[in-house]
Structure 1
Amino acid sequence: MISLLHTADWQIGRVFSRFELDDASALFEARFAAVERLAAIAAERGVDAVLVAGDVFDAQTVADKTIRRLFNAMQGFTGAWVLMPGNHDAALTESVWTRARRIGAISSNVICCLEPKPVVVAGKFTLLPAPLTQRHTHSDLTEWFGTVPGSDGLPRIGLAHGCVQGILPEDIDSANPIAAGRAQDAGLAYLALGDWHGTKRVDDRTWYAGTPETDRFKANDSGQALLISIASEGAIPVVEPVRTGKFNWRQLETQLAVASDVDGVVDILNAMGGDDVLQVRAFGTCNLAGHRKLSAALDAARAKARAVVWDGAELRLEPTEEDIQSLHADGFVGEVLKELRTEQSGTEPEIARDALLALARILDAQGRRSGAGA
């Protein structure tokens, strides 16, 4: 019986620059916490080894402190950890891996597979790794798996990072290719893959584990690891996904046209919780009253959720006559409002929209001051 925990794409040290500073910091920290959860799961389930199929680090340039923090996060499991470079942390002559060794961060129970050669792990299986030694390759680094004689009598487990040909979307099916059917052709008991950030079954013996902490707005079944049980020689692995992620990333694309469309977005924003990361992309048209409602809901959601990213670049403001009357935009000011509304169809629509909003806010504030002094 072989028991494994398969994970990949930790990308420790990733900087979430598109988010506000406090949100980016929380997302950065969550990746260390995910490794701690992996260690706890491995210890609780008593697995023979944890396999990490590439992209352990996000970049070669991560700080020494980040390297040390990662290996500290792994200390909750004292069994074998098998780490392999991917395209983000390739095994260059001088790399994040050589630095980790130089500063003495790597524990004795951690196997770093920096070369394509067989390794016997925990006395239970022979690992065949295909580490990347450069960011992109155009040859199949797993091809040698089928040439290794099985003289030790142990089951063989493959570990690779790349794109299984004909399985993943065509736009990413180029660099770091892996032949479909590699597990069967090479006589592997299991092939643990990384690179695709979601959990994905390729065949009975070949799986992508995905990243253990979701890191992008894509519904790809991420935030998990895979518990693998192989009962006996030739047996089909039993694969059990286990939840490891903390944050729930969601993406909402919505076209606004009428008041009820705005209300629908507001309802979603009002339902946000502390572990939610939401991106909203709105397009279409919205009046000033609706935009005020959206802005208020966004402000409230940003205070409740972990992060909210708003993209209204394609949202056109269409003030109604009621909007203009409520702003008391008579005469010249009213004409400016109408002109800005028209200019949203011109060459610089975002500037016109922002100017329209700024003018509306000024008129709004003036109206509230007048009302307070009445």
Structure 2
Amino acid sequence: MTHFLHTADWQIGRQYGQFETDDAAMLAEARFDVVARIAALAAERAVDAVLVAGDVFDTQGVSDRSIRRLFAAMTAYAGPWVMIAGNHDAALADSVWSRAMQLGCIPANVHIPLRTGVVDLPQASMAVLAAPLTQRHTYDDVTQAFDSLESAPGRVRVGLAHGSVAGRLPDNVDATNPIAPDRAARARLDYLALGDWHGCLSIDERTWYAGTPEQDRFRGNEPGHVLDVRIAAPGAMPQVERVAVGRYRWSAWTEAVSLPTDAQALAGRMAALRSEDVLRLDVQGHVNMETWEALQRAVDQAAAQVRALLPDLSGLRLEPDDADLAELRASGYVGEVAAQLQAMQGDTAQAAVAGEALRLLLRFQRESVAPGAAK
């Protein structure tokens, strides 16, 4: 029985510029944390090896400290690691990998092949046919070499590559770094471990994308896993188990609000969010002032309880109801200004400014007529 973990797309050093500084720092830190969890899982399950299918680093320019921290995070598992370069960290002449070697921080149990070839792991009865990328983009199938690579008799043959399986990935047209969909069969592979697609995806029974172990974008394609793979003997069908290891859950909500009950329902959903949630919220529709303020309170409360929240209320139009207009004394000058601002919300270029001005006008007028307000 050969038993290993398949993971990919760690993207160490990734930046999250769309978030607040504190949130971005925590999301970046989570990428180191999940590597430590993978190492602990490998030790706990006593696997024969851990295979990392490219994009270990997000850029070639990660700091020396990040390189050292990455290898330090792997120390819980003392067995063999095999990791290859992907398109983000291609094995160029001067690369993040050459820096790691110069720093002397790569442990002896970590194999980093910089050219296509076979990494033989006799204790695991496994031969890893590795195809690291040596440039960011190529239109040649680097796994074609697997067809002619030989391995020692009795070894389970496992391919390790980074790229796009032709015609099998969503949103993938004329992709670079192509991989033939039948490569496992052509190269007599018992399993083909792939990276590049950030979701967990089975191409066929022997060909899998592990996906990124820590979700990093608003796409519901089953990220946040590693794959536990067991192969009884050469030629046997692999048994693949998805193991959840990610911490944060990224969601994107697009909501239409027109009634107070719509806002109440949305507020209830946001109240159920927890510290592991990262939410992008796009709200559209039209509401009165009371509903808009209630919704804003719900957004503010959610922002305090989730890891990160990116709200966009620019598509939410304020339409004063009779009570709002009564507060504005709609028959006077203030009412005329309110009517103009309300109309301006229909102009895309002016909608955001007009909506904010109308909300401020309503709030100011409400406060000026409140009992005890200054005369």
* TM-score over 0.5 (shorter chain): yes
Deviations 1:249-306 (A, max 9, x none): 1221111122211111111111111111111111122222111011101111111111
One-letter identity of the residue aligned with 1:7: T
Partner of residue 248, structure 1: 249
Q: Describe how 1:232-243 pairs up with structure 2 within 5 A.
A: 232-243=233-244
Q: CA–CA distance in 1 between the matches of 2:182 and 2:202?
A: 12
How far is the alpha carbon of 1:235 from its aligned partner? 0.6
Q: Is the 8 A contact 1:48 1:122 kept in 2?
A: no
Q: CA–CA distance in 2 between the matches of 1:13 and 1:109?
A: 23
Q: Is the 8 A contact 2:328 2:334 kept in 1?
A: no
For residue 75 of structure 1, give the secondary structure of its aligned residue in structure 2: coil
1:205 aligns with 2:233: no
Partner of residue 361, structure 2: 359
Q: CA–CA distance in 1 between the matches of 2:321 and 2:18?
A: 34
One-letter identity of the residue aligned with 1:177: P
Partner of residue 352, structure 2: 350
Deviations 1:122-150 (A, max 9, x none): 54211111111111111111111111134
**Bigger CA drift: 170-179 or 58-67?**
170-179
For residue 118 of structure 1, give the secondary structure of its aligned residue in structure 2: strand
What TM-score do the two structures reach when normalised by structure 1?
0.95
How far is the alpha carbon of 1:373 from its aligned partner? 6.0
**Bigger CA drift: 228-237 or 144-153?**
144-153
Q: CA–CA distance in 1 between the matches of 2:38 and 2:168?
A: 27
Q: CA–CA distance in 2 between the matches of 1:110 and 1:163?
A: 25
Rate the CA distance shift 1:356–1:114 in 2: closer, same or farther, 3 A. Answer: farther
How far is the alpha carbon of 1:25 from its aligned partner? 1.1
Rate the CA distance shift 1:111–1:341 in 2: closer, same or farther, 3 A. Answer: same
Q: CA–CA distance in 2 between the matches of 1:24 and 1:43?
A: 30
**Bigger CA drift: 323-332 or 35-44?**
323-332
Q: Is the 8 A contact 1:4 1:229 kept in 2?
A: yes
Rate the CA distance shift 1:363–1:13 in 2: closer, same or farther, 3 A. Answer: farther
One-letter identity of the residue aligned with 2:365: L
Deviations 1:334-373 (A, max 9, x none): 21121111111224122222322333343344455x5456
Rate the CA distance shift 1:151–1:110 in 2: closer, same or farther, 3 A. Answer: closer
Rate the CA distance shift 1:327–1:179 in 2: closer, same or farther, 3 A. Answer: same
Q: CA–CA distance in 2 between the matches of 1:255 and 1:131?
A: 46
Q: Is the 8 A contact 1:6 1:192 kept in 2?
A: yes
Q: CA–CA distance in 1 between the matches of 2:342 and 2:287?
A: 11
Q: CA–CA distance in 2 between the matches of 1:167 and 1:177?
A: 11
For residue 171 of structure 1, give the secondary structure of its aligned residue in structure 2: coil
Rate the CA distance shift 1:188–1:100 in 2: closer, same or farther, 3 A. Answer: same
Q: Is the 8 A contact 1:247 1:275 kept in 2?
A: yes
Q: Is the 8 A contact 2:118 2:151 kept in 1?
A: no
One-letter identity of the residue aligned with 1:18: Q
For residue 317 of structure 2, give the secondary structure of its aligned residue in structure 1: strand
One-letter identity of the residue aligned with 1:224: H
How far is the alpha carbon of 1:175 from its aligned partner? 1.1
Rate the CA distance shift 1:86–1:328 in 2: closer, same or farther, 3 A. Answer: farther
Partner of residue 325, structure 2: 324
Q: CA–CA distance in 2 between the matches of 1:359 and 1:59?
A: 48
1:58 aligns with 2:58: yes
Unaligned stretches of 5+ residues in structure 2 = none
Identity %: 47
How far is the alpha carbon of 1:174 from its aligned partner? 1.3
Q: CA–CA distance in 1 between the matches of 2:369 and 2:10?
A: 53
How far is the alpha carbon of 1:314 from its aligned partner? 2.2
Rate the CA distance shift 1:353–1:27 in 2: closer, same or farther, 3 A. Answer: same
Q: CA–CA distance in 2 between the matches of 1:140 and 1:330?
A: 73
Aligned Cα root-mean-square deviation (Å): 1.7
Q: Give the aligned length.
A: 373
Q: Describe how 1:58-77 pairs up with structure 2 within 5 A.
A: 58-77=58-77
Q: CA–CA distance in 2 between the matches of 1:287 and 1:235?
A: 64
One-letter identity of the residue aligned with 1:198: G
Partner of residue 188, structure 1: 189
Q: CA–CA distance in 2 between the matches of 1:193 and 1:367?
A: 66
Rate the CA distance shift 1:167–1:332 in 2: closer, same or farther, 3 A. Answer: same
Q: Describe how 1:32-181 pairs up with structure 2 within 5 A.
A: 32-123=32-123, 124-172=125-173, 174-181=175-182
Q: CA–CA distance in 2 between the matches of 1:54 and 1:364?
A: 59
What TM-score do the two structures reach when normalised by structure 2?
0.95
How far is the alpha carbon of 1:62 from its aligned partner? 0.9
Q: Is the 8 A contact 2:227 2:243 kept in 1?
A: yes
Partner of residue 288, structure 2: 287
For residue 117 of structure 2, give the secondary structure of its aligned residue in structure 1: coil
Q: CA–CA distance in 2 between the matches of 1:54 and 1:110?
A: 14
Q: CA–CA distance in 2 between the matches of 1:75 and 1:266?
A: 44
How far is the alpha carbon of 1:152 from its aligned partner? 4.2
For residue 294 of structure 2, give the secondary structure of its aligned residue in structure 1: helix
For residue 76 of structure 1, give the secondary structure of its aligned residue in structure 2: coil
